[in-house]
Copies of this chain bind each other. A is one copy, B any other.
Amino acid sequence: MVHYQTRLDTTFAALSDVTRRGVLEQLGGSEASITDLAQRFHMTLTGMKKHVSILEQAGLVTTQKVGRVRTCKLGLRRLEEEAAWIERHRQLWSARFDALDELVEHLKCKEKADARTKKR
């Protein structure tokens, strides 16, 4: 599905930035205002606002403005799709390398056997 595709696109893109991953870690600990985050990551308010917007767009963060301060917290998306994608591919990987693993194992045994033969 296209939706599924673009979803992974935007989430992985969101996660590909150090600052944004940092913001997520921060919000995992406690909520924070834009100002808080901007200070913690040595950035202008405008810059941080952009990052927060991107995270919000990806559903990873939700925000609420009360008075003049906008409070950010972790969003409802829990990276299920991303975890699933990665997990699926770790399995592909494994399947693909099982043969190799066996070969390596086989070679190791052969090595041992050869060593033993040599000794004699």
Q: Which residues of chain A have a CB within 8 Å of any CB of chain B?
A: 5-6, 8-10, 12-13, 15-18, 21, 24-25, 28, 73-74, 76, 78-80, 82-83, 85-87, 89-90, 92-97
Contacts and interface: CB of A to CB of B under 8 A. Distances in A.
A23 to B, nearest CB: 12
How many copies of the shown chain assemble into the complex? 2
A24 to B, nearest CB: 6
Q: Is the interface of A mostly helix, strand, loop or mixed?
A: helix
B83 A28 contact: no
A61 to B, nearest CB: 11
A18 B85 CA distance: 12
Given A5-B18, A12-B16, A83-B83, A28 B93 contact: yes
